[in-house]
């Protein structure tokens, strides 16, 4: 079967996967049964595999199509085209588990979840939007940082320990509208993948997770589009492709009008109050040859909020390009060049506080990665990635024309990586990654260069064809972090770098998992256990002033640890699909100058979290979704006594995070109705959702005043309606 002596001849099998009408099927899974080998078709429906000589069974699966098996004898380069039949009964087969159906067991990658845009579109909505990040917050080990927030914690890590990528380029703040929306526009999102450990070798610089958001790069029509009208925002998208499919383009935009609907105070007038965001995505993909794909894309988003004399404006700007080239059947490469910037501007026009405060992080970067198949059982990946960060904590213009600048500085972040993935006897596969990092803080006040090494070791031990055990051991470094105590999507994120005063944060992480598929992959089960050991982890000193010019002076570092269990069960096909997962997660810090040196809980410690998602497709016109979310309330500090000074009463806090907010839970329901699903053009879709059906008053924050505790909550029950027009 797949195990062959390396001296055997190796051949290429390639072909095209189409539907009954000859239309290419993109994203179809082409795997070799009973092995860990497999791939996906590209936007043209093409696939290619490189295997040793032998007899194999090709398994082709794709959402909405009948699976197909085909036996082949590989003793020369083969071209195998396969046509899939439309699946009448299970049209909405949904994948919400591991990255590839059937490969969730055999692949060495663990702690990963991929969700397609189609699945996201079926989820219940909040104020007319299903947000990519909020869907990922439902995955095991992932937790939202506060109600409605785009901030999330992975395995107890902080929100800035998550690397967030749009088509491979950094997004430094994924939040719109203080976190109620993310920067990702569903209209252009193709799929989302989150890695909680064992990151791909090209990614690093963060400790807890990597979130890859891939946008569409294909379209069946010369021009088509989508128009969505919701209660709080509207959006439009146009895309198209040339008939030869060599050129693809898309543009999309959103604009919110939240300020019309939020609960503005009514007891007095508030002229000129505004709160909105807008964003644009644009992308072009050109395939000059069968071996080259050139992509160019950009994102621009801006939030504006304020009133009369005070204005916030913040957002991300991103330009990226990619050239993927295949030299031959064994060697391919990817070159990325991009530039990402996050900035905010705070303007006060109030007389004595008239001030303009600009802060930003701007990072041009370039990366190059080459994949080389030494033989079908051994894949080598080599590459490098370089950032040059321009950090501007604050350029301040004062009302009298004077100005001052908190020290601007630059930092170089260079990584060289190598990974080898080798499949041994019985399809045991081991992946080893080394990543050598040079980080150089070039500030005048605290320059420092660090040379560090990341390593990642992963292994899969197949027990049978449908179950396996996986292991992962890794060490990662993080060199930049943000000064933000916020649990939600605060716009005022000041990124700052490791320096002579602040060492890079280091995480040693250990994971083991069991993976089982049942009933021909209809059910996917997994269980993972992890342990995390943090060094130089940072937190902010008691009473830290994050508006201070010397942010480093407010930072303290020490040790931390986390451990947990993640259980997941998913039904991936049939009319009824969905998943249930449970996470136990513990996270704590011990930092000498915080909490009197006593160990304290991280704000992201969540002993128990449960997510239940169910989707039922009654027929092509109607489908229904249910979502129930539960997690233990976040750790918090409560005052334990009060004192009176000068006639004023003050709360006295003694220890950090010894209490918890109320447990969080809510139920969401959603109905999608497509009156004429068979129409490709001018197809209308309606969505009615109810967020927080039983009106749970989930805590956003507590207020402590005069011996009372006030629970502030953002959302009660929220119905919403959205109309989508596909044309």
Partner 1 sequence: MKRIIIFCLALTLSSCSEIIDVDINTVESSLVIYGHLSSDVERQRIEISKSVAYLSTGENTTISSATVSVNDIYNYSFVDSLGYYLSDVAFGAEKDVDYTLKVNYDNQEYTATTTLADTTCITGGHLVKASLMGIGYYTPFLTSSGLKDEEYWYVYFTYEDSILLEGLSDVSIIQASTLIGSEPYDYVPFLDMTNVNAMFFAEEDREMVEKMFDSTSTTQPKFLATGDTIKISMCTITEGYYDFITVLNQSSGSSNPIFGSGAVFLPSNISNDAIGYFGSLNQKHIDIVVE
> Does the protein bind partner 1 through residue 407 (CB under 8 A)?
no
Cβ distance to partner 1 smaller for residue 221 or 640: 640
Number of residues that bind partner 1 (CB under 8 A): 91
Cβ distance to partner 1 smaller for residue 403 or 520: 403
Cβ distance to partner 1 smaller for residue 19 or 395: 395
The CA angle 708-629-278, to the nearest 5 degrees, is 90
Is residue 638 within 8 Å of 653, Cβ to Cβ?
yes
Least Å distance, CB 352 to partner 1, is 4
Q: Which of 5, 88, 645, 682 binds partner 1 (CB under 8 A)?
A: 645
| Alpha-carbon span 191 to 132, nearest angstrom | 9
Cβ distance to partner 1 smaller for residue 88 or 706: 706
Least Å distance, CB 711 to partner 1, is 5
- 118's CB contacts (< 8 A; 6+ apart) are 63, 92, 94
Is residue 352 within 8 Å of 364, Cβ to Cβ?
no
Least Å distance, CB 174 to partner 1, is 16
| Alpha-carbon span 604 to 587, nearest angstrom | 7
Least Å distance, CB 553 to partner 1, is 12
Choose the binding region for partner 1 from 206-214, 229-237, 456-464, 542-550 (rule: CB under 8 A): 542-550
Segment 143 to 172, residues that bind partner 1, using CB under 8 A: 145-146, 149
- 213's CB contacts (< 8 A; 6+ apart) are 132, 164, 165, 166, 167, 184, 189, 192
Least Å distance, CB 79 to partner 1, is 57
Segment 587 to 626, residues that bind partner 1, using CB under 8 A: 603
Segment 100 to 119, residues that bind partner 1, using CB under 8 A: none
| Alpha-carbon span 685 to 709, nearest angstrom | 44
Q: Which of 364, 574, 639, 719 binds partner 1 (CB under 8 A)?
A: 639
Cβ distance to partner 1 smaller for residue 64 or 306: 306
Segment 660 to 689, residues that bind partner 1, using CB under 8 A: 662
Give me the count of residues in the chain: 727
Is residue 709 within 8 Å of 696, Cβ to Cβ?
no
Least Å distance, CB 635 to partner 1, is 10
DSSP label of 399: T
DSSP label of 262: S
| Alpha-carbon span 412 to 524, nearest angstrom | 43
> Does the protein bind partner 1 through residue 542 (CB under 8 A)?
yes
Cβ distance to partner 1 smaller for residue 514 or 638: 638
Choose the binding region for partner 1 from 192-200, 219-227, 395-403, 466-474 (rule: CB under 8 A): 395-403
SS (H, E, C) 487-510: CCCCCCCEEEECCCCCCCEEEEEE
Tokens of 310: 């005070």
Least Å distance, CB 28 to partner 1, is 43
Segment 175 to 194, residues that bind partner 1, using CB under 8 A: 178
Choose the binding region for partner 1 from 107-115, 193-201, 459-467, 480-488 (rule: CB under 8 A): 480-488
Segment 550 to 589, residues that bind partner 1, using CB under 8 A: none
Least Å distance, CB 277 to partner 1, is 14
For the chain, the distance separating the N- and C-terminal CA atoms, rounded to the nearest angstrom, is 47
Q: Which of 5, 263, 444, 451 binds partner 1 (CB under 8 A)?
A: 263
Segment 322 to 381, residues that bind partner 1, using CB under 8 A: 346, 348, 350-353, 355, 357
SS (H, E, C) 434-449: EEEEEEEECCCCCCEE
Choose the binding region for partner 1 from 268-276, 375-383, 408-416, 566-574 (rule: CB under 8 A): 268-276
Closest CA to 297 of 345, 369, 356, 249: 249
| Alpha-carbon span 312 to 113, nearest angstrom | 35
Choose the binding region for partner 1 from 40-48, 87-95, 400-408, 717-725 (rule: CB under 8 A): 400-408
> Does the protein bind partner 1 through residue 547 (CB under 8 A)?
yes
- Output the CA–CA distances (angstroms, integers) from residue 475 to 119, 448, 453, 501, 533, in the order listed: 33, 21, 8, 22, 9
Is residue 490 within 8 Å of 136, Cβ to Cβ?
no
The CA angle 113-114-118, to the nearest 5 degrees, is 140
Choose the binding region for partner 1 from 296-304, 442-450, 478-486, 520-528 (rule: CB under 8 A): 478-486
Cβ distance to partner 1 smaller for residue 417 or 482: 482
Segment 243 to 262, residues that bind partner 1, using CB under 8 A: 259, 262
Choose the binding region for partner 1 from 99-107, 265-273, 337-345, 669-677 (rule: CB under 8 A): 265-273
Q: Which of 653, 665, 719, 726 binds partner 1 (CB under 8 A)?
A: 653
Least Å distance, CB 315 to partner 1, is 17
Alpha carbon 76 to its chain's center: 41
Cβ distance to partner 1 smaller for residue 5 or 652: 652
Least Å distance, CB 398 to partner 1, is 7
Q: Which of 88, 444, 641, 681 binds partner 1 (CB under 8 A)?
A: 641
> Does the protein bind partner 1 through residue 398 (CB under 8 A)?
yes
Task: Convert residues 693-722 into a mask of x (bound to partner 1 by CB under 8 A) and - (unbound).
Answer: ----x--xxxxxxxxxxxxxxx-x------
Half-sphere exposure in the Cβ direction for 566 (13 Å, CA)? 27
Cβ distance to partner 1 smaller for residue 335 or 355: 355
Segment 63 to 92, residues that bind partner 1, using CB under 8 A: none
- Output the CA–CA distances (angstroms, integers) from residue 257 to 132, 232, 235, 303, 495, in the order listed: 20, 5, 11, 11, 29
Task: Convert residues 422-461 into a mask of x (bound to partner 1 by CB under 8 A) and - (unbound).
Answer: ----------------------------------------
Cβ distance to partner 1 smaller for residue 47 or 482: 482
Cβ distance to partner 1 smaller for residue 390 or 702: 702
Torsion of CA 470, 606, 133, 571, to 10 degrees: 50
Segment 287 to 316, residues that bind partner 1, using CB under 8 A: 305-310, 312
Cβ distance to partner 1 smaller for residue 69 or 262: 262
DSSP label of 80: -
Tokens of 121: 């579109």
Q: Which of 35, 98, 233, 486 binds partner 1 (CB under 8 A)?
A: 486
- 538's CB contacts (< 8 A; 6+ apart) are 481, 502, 505, 555, 556, 557
- 401's CB contacts (< 8 A; 6+ apart) are none
| Alpha-carbon span 155 to 153, nearest angstrom | 6
The radius of gyration computed from the CA coordinates of the chain, to the nearest angstrom, equals: 26
Is residue 485 within 8 Å of 467, Cβ to Cβ?
no
Segment 493 to 522, residues that bind partner 1, using CB under 8 A: none
- Output the CA–CA distances (angstroms, integers) from residue 269 to 265, 538, 717, in the order listed: 8, 43, 27
Q: Which of 659, 665, 683, 688 binds partner 1 (CB under 8 A)?
A: 659
| Alpha-carbon span 518 to 510, nearest angstrom | 27
3-state secondary structure of 245: coil
Q: Which of 485, 519, 520, 619 binds partner 1 (CB under 8 A)?
A: 485
């Amino acid at each position: 079967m797949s195990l062959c002596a390396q001296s055997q001849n190796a051949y290429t099998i390639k072909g095209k996967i189409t539907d009954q009408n000859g239309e290419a099927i993109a994203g179809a899974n082409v795997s070799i049964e009973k092995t860990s080998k497999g791939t996906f078709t590209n936007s043209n429906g093409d696939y290619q595999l490189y295997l040793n000589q032998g007899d194999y069974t090709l398994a082709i699966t794709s959402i909405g199509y009948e699976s197909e098996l085909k036996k082949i004898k590989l003793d020369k380069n083969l071209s195998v085209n396969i046509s899939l039949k439309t699946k009448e009964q299970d049209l909405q087969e949904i994948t919400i588990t591991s990255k590839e159906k059937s490969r969730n067991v055999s692949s060495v990658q663990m702690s990963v979840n991929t969700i397609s845009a189609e699945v996201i579109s079926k989820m219940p909505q909040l104020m007319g939007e299903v947000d990519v990040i909020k869907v990922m917050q439902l995955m095991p080990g992932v937790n939202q940082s506060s109600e409605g927030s785009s901030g999330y914690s992975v395995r107890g890590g902080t929100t800035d320990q998550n690397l967030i990528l749009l088509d491979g380029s950094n997004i430094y703040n994924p939040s719109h509208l203080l976190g109620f929306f993310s920067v990702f526009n569903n209209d252009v999102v193709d799929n989302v993948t989150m890695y909680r450990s064992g990151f791909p070798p090209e990614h690093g610089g963060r400790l807890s997770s990597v979130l890859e958001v891939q946008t569409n790069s294909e379209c069946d029509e010369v021009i088509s589009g989508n128009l969505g009208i919701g209660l709080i925002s509207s959006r439009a998208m146009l895309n198209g492709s040339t008939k030869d499919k060599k050129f693809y383009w898309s543009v999309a935009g959103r604009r919110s009008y939240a300020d019309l609907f939020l609960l503005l105070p009514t007891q007095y007038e508030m002229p000129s109050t505004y709160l909105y965001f807008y964003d644009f995505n644009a992308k072009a993909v050109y395939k000059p040859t069968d071996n080259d794909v050139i992509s160019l894309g950009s994102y621009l988003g801006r939030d504006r909020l304020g009133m009369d004399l005070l204005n916030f404006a913040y957002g991300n700007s991103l330009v990226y390009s990619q050239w993927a080239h295949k030299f031959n059947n064994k060697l391919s490469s990817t070159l990325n060049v991009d530039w990402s910037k996050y900035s905010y501007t705070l303007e006060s026009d109030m007389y004595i506080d008239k001030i303009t405060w600009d802060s930003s992080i701007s990072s041009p970067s370039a990366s190059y990665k080459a994949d080389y198949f030494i033989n079908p059982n051994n894949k080598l990946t080599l590459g490098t990635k370089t950032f040059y960060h321009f950090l501007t904590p604050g350029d301040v213009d004062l009302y009298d024309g004077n100005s001052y600048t908190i020290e601007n500085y630059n930092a170089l972040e260079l990584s060289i990586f190598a990974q080898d993935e080798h499949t041994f006897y019985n399809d045991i596969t081991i992946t080893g990654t080394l990543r050598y990092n040079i980080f150089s803080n070039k500030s005048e006040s605290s320059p420092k260069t660090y040379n560090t090494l990341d390593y990642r070791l992963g292994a899969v031990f197949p027990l049978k064809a449908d179950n396996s055990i996986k292991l992962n051991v890794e060490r990662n470094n993080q060199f930049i972090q943000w000064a933000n105590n916020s649990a939600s999507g605060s716009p005022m994120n000041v990124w700052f770098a490791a320096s002579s005063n602040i060492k890079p944060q280091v995480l040693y992480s250990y994971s083991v998992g069991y993976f089982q598929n049942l009933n021909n992959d209809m059910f996917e089960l997994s269980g993972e256990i992890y342990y995390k050991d943090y060094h130089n982890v940072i937190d902010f000193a008691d009473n830290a002033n994050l508006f201070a010019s010397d942010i480093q002076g407010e930072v303290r570092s020490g040790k931390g640890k986390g451990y947990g269990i993640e259980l997941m069960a998913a039904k991936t096909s049939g009319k009824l699909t969905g998943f249930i997962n449970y996470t136990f997660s513990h996270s704590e810090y011990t930092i000498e100058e915080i909490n009197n040196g006593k160990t304290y809980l991280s704000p992201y410690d969540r002993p128990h979290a449960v997510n239940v998602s169910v989707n039922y497709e009654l027929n092509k016109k109607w489908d229904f979704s249910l979502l129930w979310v539960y997690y233990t309330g976040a750790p918090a500090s409560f005052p334990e006594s009060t004192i009176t000074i000068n006639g004023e009463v003050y709360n006295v806090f003694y220890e950090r995070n010894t209490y918890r907010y109320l447990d969080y839970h809510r139920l969401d329901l959603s109905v999608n109705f497509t009156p004429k699903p068979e129409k490709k053009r001018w197809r209308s879709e309606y969505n009615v959702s109810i967020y927080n059906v039983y009106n749970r008053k989930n805590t956003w924050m507590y207020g402590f005043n005069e011996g009372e505790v006030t629970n502030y909550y953002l959302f009660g029950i929220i119905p919403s309606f959205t109309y989508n027009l596909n044309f």
